[in-house]
Amino acid sequence: MEIAGRDSVAAAVKSVEEEAFTDLLPTYVYTGTEHGPWASVHQAVERLAGRLPEVRIHNLVVLGSPGFWQAMCGRFISALISRYGFYTPCVGCHLYLHSVRIPLALTLGKVPIISGERERHNGAIKLNQISPALDVYQSIAKDFGVHLLLPVRHITKGDRIADILGFEWHQGKEQLGCVLSGNYRRLDGSIEHTARQVPIYLEEFARPCAKQIIESYTAGLIPNHLEIAAQVLSA
């Protein structure tokens, strides 16, 4: 399961209620753009354990691949802007976050991955969590026989998340932040890019790039992340 913040813990709680899981393995995927107290991640695990005393919460596993993130979100910014007319690291980053967990899920016997992605946040829209993006995140996991569970996907109100948690936790607080947060918003907070651009970017670049990299990892190889991304862009 994903450990990121309030929504991911709520997703774990809801998954246990719906699927009767007896064990949860908290996983944190790093990107290199986070900032804040690392203790907040362990506190999230402790909160989850306190909320679900009947469930075995395993020790936190930390995962990540700087080369994978660079290929998806950093190296080819100019090329992506030229091709798609926009760029934000957030969509590719979230695809990366889910993709990194797939080899582990396969190693553990195709166990499901639980994530706290939501389409709406009290009316606010996040490009990396719009419906077409969430569909792609789930579909790439499905390609490898893994279920990506999004139990709070259609919960729009933060109050409902608080009800699931059963304790106070303000949205966006008491968790690590990202130095790139809000990068796709105008000065007035509105979103500059359209929902039409995101699916094209995902299907033509991000999804095939991530899939080829995962295939390399699952074959026991260390992929050349940048070479794979460059080949996808050149296709």
Q: In this predicted model, what pLDDT tens digit does every residue of 36-78 receive, in sequence order?
A: 999 999 999 999 999 999 999 999 999 999 999 999 999 999 9
Is the predicted pLDDT of residue 195 greater than 80, yes or no? no
Task: Please give the tally of structural domains in the chain.
Answer: 1
Residue 127 lies in a domain: yes
Q: Which two tokens stand for residue 225?
A: 């992340």
Is the predicted pLDDT of residue 194 greater than 80, yes or no? no
Q: Which of 1-15, 102-116, 140-154, 193-207 has the lowest mean pLDDT?
A: 193-207
Q: Read off the CATH number of the domain in which 89 is found.
A: 3.40.50
Instruction: Look up the domain containing 218 and give its range.
Output: 6-182+193-234
Sign (positive or negative) of CA dihedral 182, 103, 80, 229: positive
Phi, psi of 33 (to 5 degrees): -105, 0
What is the arithmetic mean of pLDDT over 17-24?
97
Looking at every residue in the chain, the average pLDDT score rounds to 94
Residue 70 lies in a domain: yes
pLDDT of residue 169: 85
Helix residue ranges, H only, the chain: 6-19, 39-51, 66-69, 77-84, 89-107, 131-143, 158-165, 197-201, 207-218, 225-234
Number of CB atoms found within 10 A of residue 94's CB = 24
Q: What distance in Å separates the CA atoms of residue 15 and residue 19, rounded to the nearest whole number?
A: 6
Is the predicted pLDDT of residue 233 greater than 70, yes or no? yes
Residue 61 lies in a domain: yes
Residue 57 lies in a domain: yes
Q: What distance in Å separates the CA atoms of residue 224 and residue 63, rounded to the nearest whole number?
A: 18
pLDDT of residue 193: 65
Q: Are 153 and 117 in contact (CB under 8 A)?
A: yes
Residue 188 lies in a domain: no
Q: What distance in Å separates the CA atoms of residue 162 and residue 57, rounded to the nearest whole number?
A: 21
Burial 40-57 (b: 16+ CB within 10 A, else e): ebeebbebbeebbeebeb
pLDDT of residue 172: 62
Question: Parallel, antiparallel, or unpaired: how do β-strands 27-29 and 113-114 relate?
Answer: unpaired
Is the predicted pLDDT of residue 171 greater than 70, yes or no? no
What is the arithmetic mean of pLDDT over 201-226?
97
Q: What angle do CA 8, 69, 195 make, to 5 degrees?
A: 65
Q: In this predicted model, what pLDDT tens digit does every residue of 101-149 receive, in sequence order?
A: 999 999 999 999 999 999 988 877 888 999 999 999 999 999 999 999 9
Residue 187 lies in a domain: no
Count the helix, strand and coil residues of the chain and give each as a percent rounded to the nearest 5: 50, 10, 40
Number of CB atoms found within 10 A of residue 30's CB = 16
Residue 1 lies in a domain: no
